Structure 1
Amino acid sequence: MGFADNLKSIRQERHISQEELAEIIGVSRQAVSKWEQGSSYPEMEKLLVLSKELNVSLDYLMLSEIKSTENNKTLSNNIIVPTGKITIKSYDGKSIVNCYKVLSSHVMFKAKSDEPKYWLIGVNKGALWGEKSIVLGWYVDEEKIKKEMDEISEAINKGVIVYELKYAVNVKNKMLRVKIDER
């Protein structure tokens, strides 16, 4: 398989019509049709946009197979390019956030022994007035939140698109304070 077959296959796997892909890329449907027929190729800028929007590497898009430098093994064609974004469900399960940035911080008040000391905040660019932040999770100590941040970073670098919090504690709201829920 080459570029034309790869593009068509990826587009169909993602249930995207030629017209929808053309709109995403900013070209005509006829241009996408010609690319899939192999009668023309997109400009480099369009290839980069295709790679990003379809979440595949340029190698996967352009080549029929990928060779590893180690032992010259053929790798799987399911190569994913990190987008710098990840989807995370909030601690209460009420929000799912497509984050492009994740921040950790001490809570704003002095935490008591039955309260979390840190919170993890997800940031996305969806709001009309700029960034939108949401609390993703609450943490009892710095070690747990650092571990969570490291794993989220690793997931983003590997191209994982969904991450489930592992080290956050269950909490409940009580008298305008957040308390650790020991269920």
Structure 2
Amino acid sequence: MTKSVSNRLKELRRQAGLTQEELSQKVGVIRKTVSNWERGFSRINPEYAEQLAKYFHVSIGYLLGVSNDKQDASSDLSYWIAYKQKR
């Protein structure tokens, strides 16, 4: 079973030892945006998902909670389609 994007992002951020503020600075958004992503109040757009996946060294599918494979980047488009359909 895969995790939600909000749980996955929070888990990755905590494993990296970052606060929401620190992650927001690395990605170029305000802290409230990271908070909203983690609480599921807003979706991560493709640009930021790509940045986050690269920063955490995981696939976009893993970050978005549609794959349990951290490194599989074989079809990022299919991950976006699955992510859009989750809501």
- TM (norm. structure 2) is 0.73
Indicate the RMSD between aligned Cα atoms, in angstroms. 1.9
Tell me the residue number matched to 1:7. 9
Instruction: Give the one of 48, 51, 59 matched to 2:61.
Output: 59
Q: Between Structure 1 and Structure 2, which shows a larger proportion of strand residues?
A: 1
Does 2:25 align with 1:23? yes
| Pairs aligned (count) | 71
Tell me the residue number matched to 1:33. 35
Structure 2 gaps, min length 5: 73-87
Structure scoring higher RCO (CA < 8 A, sep ≥ 6) equals: 2
SS of 1:56's equivalent?
coil
Task: Give the whole-Å Cα distance in 1 for the aligned partners of 2:40 and 2:58.
Answer: 19
- After superposition, the Cα gap between the structure-2 partners of 1:65 and 1:80, relative to the gap in structure 1 and judged at 3 Å, is closer
Tell me the residue number matched to 1:50. 52
- TM (norm. structure 1) is 0.36
- After superposition, the Cα gap between the structure-2 partners of 1:27 and 1:13, relative to the gap in structure 1 and judged at 3 Å, is same
Q: Between Structure 1 and Structure 2, which shows a larger proportion of helix residues?
A: 2
Task: Give the whole-Å Cα distance in 2 for the aligned partners of 1:13 and 1:80.
Answer: 17
Q: Shift in Å at residue 63 of structure 1? A: 2.0
Task: Give the whole-Å Cα distance in 1 for the aligned partners of 2:65 and 2:27.
Answer: 20
Task: Give the whole-Å Cα distance in 2 for the aligned partners of 1:8 and 1:47.
Answer: 13
Task: Give the whole-Å Cα distance in 2 for the aligned partners of 1:43 and 1:61.
Answer: 12
| Cα displacement string for residues 37-86 of structure 1 (whole angstroms, at most 9, x for unaligned residues) | 000012111111011111111111112543xxxxxxxxxx5x247xxxxx
Structure 1 gaps, min length 5: 67-76, 82-183
Task: Give the whole-Å Cα distance in 1 for the aligned partners of 2:18 and 2:36.
Answer: 16
| Cα displacement string for residues 150-180 of structure 1 (whole angstroms, at most 9, x for unaligned residues) | xxxxxxxxxxxxxxxxxxxxxxxxxxxxxxx
| Cα displacement string for residues 2-55 of structure 1 (whole angstroms, at most 9, x for unaligned residues) | 100000000001101100100000000000000000000121111110111111
Tell me the residue number matched to 2:82. none
